[in-house]
Amino acid sequence: MSKSKFKAVAKTQNSHQARQAFGLLSLALIGLFVLSGAKVVLSKDLIKAHGISTFGDLKYGGDFTHLDYVNPDAPKGGYISEWTQGGFDSMNPFSLKGRAGAMSSTMLESLLAGTSDEIGASYCLICETMEYPQDRSSVIFNLRKDVTFSDGTPLTADDVIFSFETFLSKGLTDFRTVLSEQVESARALDPYRVEFTFTQGKPTRDLPADMGGLPIFSKAHYQSNGLDLEESSMTPLLGSGPYVPDRVIVGQTLSYKRNPNYWGAVHPLMKGTNNFDEIRIEYFSDGNAAFEAFKAGTYTFRNENSSKSWATSYDFPALEAGHVVKAELPSGDKASGQAFLFNLRREKFQDLRVREAIALMFNFEWSNETLFYGLYARINSVWENTWQAAEGVPRLAELSHLQPLVDAGLLQPTILTNTAINGDVSGAKQLDRGNLRKASALLDAAGWAVGSDGMRANAVGEKLRVEFLNDSPAFDRVILPYVENLKALGIDAMMTKVDDAQYTDRTRPPSYDFDIISSRARSGYFSGSELKQFYGSQTADVSAFNVMGLKSAAVDRLIDDVMAATSKQALTDATMALDRVLRAERFWVPQWYKNKHTVAYYDQYEHPQTLPPYALGELDFWWFNPEKAAKLKSQGALR
């Protein structure tokens, strides 16, 4: 279960696997009196509720006792251990300085928390209730009085306001730029009530939930330890969450232990979750070393991200003996948006024809068959595997968003009649000759002619060079054939392998020192102001998320349309129009996704029979079976 929406504040993790592994969630609702006590109209314009939803009603009423997908009687105890790649030298996940340890925000909670079986729903966690007017122009959170930080000190309104003000002044530049535009004021009404008032004229649909999703840390601890949110630090922020840091070996191991005095152990959102006494993360320099360590029992749970390993390497003794479970579990998650991203700040990539030509040379079909054993499907949309992905030609409702942008000269008229751009289809051979011819024509038209040496250069003799920056050895086999195809096109293409620290330094602001990287085109199910961080012109040169540097007045206008949507259908229409335009920008070469979790783990864990659609939840609502663990130890499978 995700604990808050605060997805746009914490920096991304540093390795390829870690960038996909850990994160946070939430969102908002207008409605009438509900007999269950879920929502009460206090006056003509004020609603008091136990949560908020973007559109429609909340699934869980005010009297729910636990989430449907958990085992409320799950036993507590045992441990689970996973791996990630690279290293870490900080426990501050909100700074661009240093490399934060995996799960280093897990100690922090927020006023509201989401669930894994709903989209756009947030429920009171640290608050008892929330109050907001129909237009959501402000919100009051009524805090619980029994919430304590992990050191036993009370969490009060003062901590909430201090956390907000710190993020506003010290958070990532792109985040605080957006936040400062949205919030007019934040104040403590008394020790257990806080009020946020939103800026007049700004869309407010998501803002109550956004404020409820801000992580809260102890003001006293922050000040007494001289912490600075902008600086790297090995002193973690003090939060109220169920886990606290335990064993920390810089660059090697991170261990979190369950707080036996956790205030929220019987909270309906938390019952049946946080079941392990210890969560441990082991760091490895590369995937091969990590896999060998798993086979040896160094860690116990593996979410396999290598199709080659999944298809060919799971034949080791522990699996054959039944000590390890290999499973494919259903996933309803939106595709991650994994893609090759261009650095649009580079002059050579500012011509769309160059980007289109380069994209034509990536052969997904050959890669999937030859490298991935047919395990993946192609990503085409920023909202892939959701109902919000643009398809075919624009519908009438999309045209209402697109036509004004064409009339203003911000979009080409072809956007109104062309089908949504999908990833280029290639043939069975690595080098698709048809796509090679198309790409050649595009580069010729863009002024990159083939010289006597077979390489392409512009009118002043500069060669067309393209560097893939890669920090994941597992991606070598994907990038190198792509490089070969680009060389056949006359491009001086290369792959540069860097370590985790170099990759981090070269892909963060202000350097952005790369041509092409493998990263993500981000989005949410119900997207809002975070899109300004992901794709907005205003934050493109300071954003840790808009790493490609996309600046488009049309995209900016469509983000405003998405934020202003007041119904699910209106949001869908605006999102489809935005998706269509983002894809037309060709800032990416979309990669792949799978609609299942491929996992392997030592047979000492249990999970609910039916998993929720939007989470695997192994660190959240799975649990430890001590009898099975004892059997594994007696058989020598685990130490």
Q: What's phi and psi for 281, nearest 5 deg?
A: -115, 125
CATH no. for 18-67+102-224? 3.40.190.10
Retrieve residue 466's tokens. 């393209």
pLDDT for residue 45 = 79
pLDDT score recorded for residue 175:
87
H or E stretch at 185 = strand 183-190
Per the CB < 8 A criterion, the answer to whether 354 and 620 are in contact is: no
600 - beta bridge partners? 302, 326
Where are the CATH 3.40.190.10 domain residues in the chain? 18-67+102-224
The two structure tokens encoding residue 286: 């590369």
- For residue 90, the 8-state DSSP code is B
If you search the block for the tokens 């034509």, which residue do you land on?
A: 360
SS3 track for 591-626: CEECCEEEEEEECCEECCCCCCCCCCCCCCCCEECH
CA distance 379 to 422: 8
Helix 396-407 and helix 568-585, axial crossing angle in degrees, nearest 10: 50
**Mean pLDDT, consecutive 10-residue segments, the chain of 639 residues?**
38 33 29 36 77 94 97 98 94 92 96 96 98 96 98 98 96 86 96 98 95 97 97 97 95 95 98 98 93 96 94 95 97 94 98 98 97 95 96 98 98 97 95 98 98 96 98 93 98 96 92 97 94 95 94 98 96 98 98 95 97 96 98 93
Query: What stretch(es) of the chain map to CATH 3.10.105.10?
Result: 338-593
Tokens of 507: 């892909």
Phi then psi dihedrals of residue 470, to 5 deg:
-135, 125
Which CATH fold would you assign to the domain 338-593?
Dipeptide-binding Protein; domain 3 (3.10.105)
- The tokens for 535 are 């794709």
Residues in the chain, overall count: 639
* Residue tagged 């203003």 (tokens): 408
Which residue, among 161, 164, 7, has the nearest Cα to 93 in the 3D structure? 7
CB-based contact 627:637 (threshold 8 Å): no
State the residue for tokens 């649909």: 205
Structure tokens at 407: 């009339």
Q: What pLDDT score does 483 carry?
A: 98
Q: What are the start-end ranges of the E strands in 86-154?
A: 112-113, 121-124, 127-133, 138-143
